[in-house]
Amino acid sequence: PTARPAAPPVGAGPLRRPLLPAAPAPAPQRGEAWRVWSPPTRAGNPRVGIMAMAVTTQARFARASGAAPAPGRARASPLRTSNASRCRVAPRAARAVAQVEADADAEGSASAGARDFNAYVLERAKLVQQALDVAVPVQYPELIHESMRYSLLAGGKRVRPMLCLAACEMVGGKVEDALPTACALEMVHTMSLIHDDLPMMDNDDYRRGALTNHKVYGEDNAILAGDAMLAYSFEHVARDTPSTVPAERTLRVVADLGKACGACGLVGGQVVDLESEGKPKEEVGMDTLRYIHEHKTGALLEAAVCCGAIIGGASDEQVEKLRKYALDIGLAFQVVDDILDVTKTSEELGKTAGKDLVADKATYPSLVGLDEAKRIARELVDSAKAELADFDQEAAWPLYALATFILERDS
């Protein structure tokens, strides 16, 4: 076999600089632990500080759950991972789960069973962050992998992976079995954000308080980074899901994930959204707006819940109940997004606020008013929670709490 070409010398290649200064980070609130790191890049590329856990999900989820902040500071995982750690061994997920649980015990965090939602969120976010860090190491060609990691490891709420893991556990599955699927969902979500921010799409300069991917690596590499993550998400599920999970379950997950991000899912919602731009709000109407939200945002949330349940061995009846739960929280998530766009500042959101209002886009607040939009969001979350009534209530509490968070989040 031919040897892999050597990496180009440091400093080779075009110089890429952000076109805008980094967004000023808002001051941390009381009880929030902040971690900021700069991704190491090849010489000539910028070092742009970004939030590893974005405003640390700690305080945001704590406000939704009413829980006190867990003691201790979350630790940033190293950006660079050796190629040796990239070996595809199923026990790796089990070791990661065990390590995170041990760290939680050492830091005095309450377990999920104690219904400390704040501690649960921190534990799960840390677990997913570590798994993503290992899954996508920096290797040749470095530029594309650095671009992928820039957005993939930029923190965020990790709602989709948490929904996936929670659904799997609720039906009796193991976290390590669903972890590759949870990571794949975050890869697809990150791809959608990178592409959505491009000038020919929503044209945004900031995401999670930092410059968007194309502002740092260029539009060409941003597109390719998204493409690479989308392709790799399927590879990750197929190759890293433990062999103890029946193959037919893994195949169903691959099919559901493909549908969620295809023309009948995320892409379809984006297409209709672009087609609706520039049209009067009244012409777009509620039916079209609901279609956009259910597909552009809701489809991947639906896949997160259902894929986790499938990996965990849920019955068809259970999967359908969870599908209805996910459809409701998915639509609620985007209704709340519409509300936040007109009620929060760019600093609070970590992205440009008020863009929909300026563009006169059809949103729930613009079509039915702010108060009615809030009522619709509450009604959707209540409907979602009702779908959980037939499940073990002790095991289902994270899904109840996540639904509440989606309604009450402030960014």
Alpha carbon of 58 to those of 29, 63, 91, 213: distances in Å?
Answer: 11, 9, 28, 25
pLDDT, tens digit, 9 for 90 and up, residues 92-113: 445 545 554 554 444 443 333 4
61 or 38, higher pLDDT: 61
Q: What is the mean pLDDT of residues 122-151?
A: 96
Confidence of residue 233 (pLDDT cuts 50, 70, 90): very high
Confidence of residue 347 (pLDDT cuts 50, 70, 90): low
**Predicted TM-score (pTM) of this structure:** 0.73
pLDDT, tens digit, 9 for 90 and up, residues 267-289: 999 999 889 888 887 788 899 99
**Taking Cα atoms as reference points, which of 368, 400, 393, 256 lies closest to residue 320?**
256
Q: What is the mean pLDDT of residues 60-89?
A: 38
Q: What is the pLDDT of residue 409?
A: 84
Whether residue 121 has pLDDT greater than 60:
yes
**Hey, how many other C-beta atoms are within 10 angstroms of the C-beta on 172?**
11
Q: What is the pLDDT of residue 46?
A: 34
Q: What is the mean pLDDT of residues 212-229?
A: 96
- Please answer whether residues 215 and 19 qualify as being in contact, where contact means their C-beta atoms are separated by less than 8 angstroms: yes
CA separation for the pair 98, 91 (Å, rounded): 11
CA separation for the pair 260, 354 (Å, rounded): 28
Q: What is the mean pLDDT of residues 236-252?
A: 97
CA separation for the pair 58, 259 (Å, rounded): 32
Q: What is the mean pLDDT of residues 199-221?
A: 92
Q: What is the pLDDT of residue 354?
A: 62
Q: What is the pLDDT of residue 155?
A: 82
